[in-house]
A = this chain, B = another copy of it.
Amino acid sequence: MGGDHGPPVTIPAALSLLRHESDARVVLVGLPDVVEPVLASHRAEFGDRLAVLAAAEVVAMDDKPRDALRRKRDSSMRRAIDLVKSGEAQAAVSAGNTGALMAISTIVLGTLTGIDRPAIATSLPTLKGQTLMLDLGANAECAPEHLLQFGIMGSLLVSALEHKENPSVGLLNIGEEEMKGNETVKQAGELLRASGLNFYGNVEGTDIYRSTTDVVVCDGFVGNVALKTSEGLAQMIATFLREEFGRNIYAKLAALVALPVLKAFKSRVDHRRYNGASLLGLRGVVVKSHGSADAYAFERALFRAIEAVRFDLIRRIGERMTERAANASETGAGA
C-alpha cells in the first residue's frame, strides 16, 4: 500500500483487477483503518475473492532496508511477503521502498537453489514492442556467472509475460565484437554462448530501444544508469514539447489541432503500460511498482504478477537451475 500515492492508487487498481480477472483473489495488506472499510463496502461484490490483512505499521519510502527488515516486523510489506512465504498468496505487489522490498523478500523467501543474487527486471517500450532489461540496480557489482543467471531468469520471464518461446538474449556491451568491453562482460559472453539460451551476442545501448533482443542483460550499476538516463531524457523531451506547445497563442492553437496526434504519440511511449519490475531469483513472485504509479499503472504491475504465477515462473526457474547443476556435475565427472 506504499508508493508516492498509497491506497488511493493501489486499492482502485486491485478492485479493477478483480473485475477483469474472474479467477483472481486479492488480499489487501495495510493499516486496519485503511483496508477494513474497503472490505466492508466491496464484500457483496467480490465475496471471498477480496480479503484484507491488517498490519500495524508501514515501511516509509526513506526507511533503510536494514531497519525495515529488523524493526518493522509487523509492516504491511513484511506481512504481504509472509503471505507468499506461507503459500496463502501466490505473489506480492508493492509500490513501496525498493531496497526494503528486496531485503525483506530475500530474507523471508530466500533465493532459489543455483541463484546467487536476486535481480530486478523491467520491460521497456521499444520501436517494435518491448525489451526486458535486468539487472536494474540490485547488484552494483556482478561476476560473469551472475550475468548468466540474469539471462536465464530474464528469458523465462519474457516467456511468462509475452508467451514467447526461447526469447533472444543480448549482453549489454560497448561494441558488438566479442573482444569488446571489460573482463566481466567478456567472460559472461563466453558463459552465455555455452548456455543453451538463444544468445544473440553483444548489444549496445542503442539496441535497447530497437528491440534487437527480447532480453538485455547487464550488471545493476549499468542497468540502473541506463534506466535513469532514459527517464531523465524522456522527461526533458516531454518538458520541451510542453513548453514549445505552450509558448504563445499560435503554439497553443497548434497544440489543440495536434492533440489527437500528440495523444496517440504519448500512448506509444507510455511507460505506465510496462509498470512493474520483477524481483527475480526468489522463492516467490514479487513485483515492484514504480512509486509514482497511478491506478492504471499499478494494475499493470498486478497483471505482471498474475502472468508470472500462471506461467509457474518460480518452479520453471528452479528447474532450469537444477538442470544446469546436473549438467555441470556430469561434465565435471566426465572430465
Q: Does A191 contact B (CB under 8 A)?
A: no
Q: Which B residues are CB-close (under 8 A) to A247?
A: 261, 264
Q: Does A16 contact B (CB under 8 A)?
A: no
| 21 intermolecular pairs with C-beta atoms under 8 Å apart | A140-B180, A174-B225, A185-B221, A205-B226, A205-B227, A205-B231, A209-B229, A209-B232, A209-B233, A209-B235, A218-B225, A221-B222, A230-B233, A236-B269, A244-B261, A244-B268, A245-B261, A250-B261, A254-B254, A254-B261, A255-B258
Contact A264 B244 (CB under 8 A): yes
Contact B237 A269 (CB under 8 A): yes
Q: Does A224 contact B (CB under 8 A)?
A: yes
Q: Does A326 contact B (CB under 8 A)?
A: no
Q: How many monomers of this protein are in the complex?
A: 2
**Given A224-B174, A254-B261: A232 touches B244 (CB 8 Å cut-off):** no
- Interface residues as binary, A230-264 with B (CB distance below 8 Å gives 1, 0 otherwise): 11111111011100110100110111011011101
Closest to A125 in B: B236
Q: Does A220 contact B (CB under 8 A)?
A: yes
Main secondary structure of the interface of A (DSSP, over half): helix
Which of B221, B222, B224, B265 has a CB less than 8 Å from the CB of A240? B265
Q: Does A137 contact B (CB under 8 A)?
A: yes
Q: Does A86 contact B (CB under 8 A)?
A: no
Q: Does A172 contact B (CB under 8 A)?
A: yes
Whole-angstrom distance between the Cβ of A319 and the nearest chain B Cβ: 32
From A127, A205, A209, A225, name the one whose CB has the most chain B CB atoms within 10 angstroms.
A225
Q: Does A192 contact B (CB under 8 A)?
A: no
In whole angstroms, how far apart are the Cα atoms of A120 and B157 in the complex? 37
In whole angstroms, how far apart are the Cα atoms of A247 and B210 in the complex? 20
Closest to A252 in B: B261
Q: Does A57 contact B (CB under 8 A)?
A: no
Q: Does A126 contact B (CB under 8 A)?
A: yes
For window 91-134 of A, CB contacts with B under 8 Å fall at 126-127
Q: Does A183 contact B (CB under 8 A)?
A: yes
Q: Does A181 contact B (CB under 8 A)?
A: yes
Q: Which B residues are CB-close (under 8 A) to A237?
A: 234, 237, 269
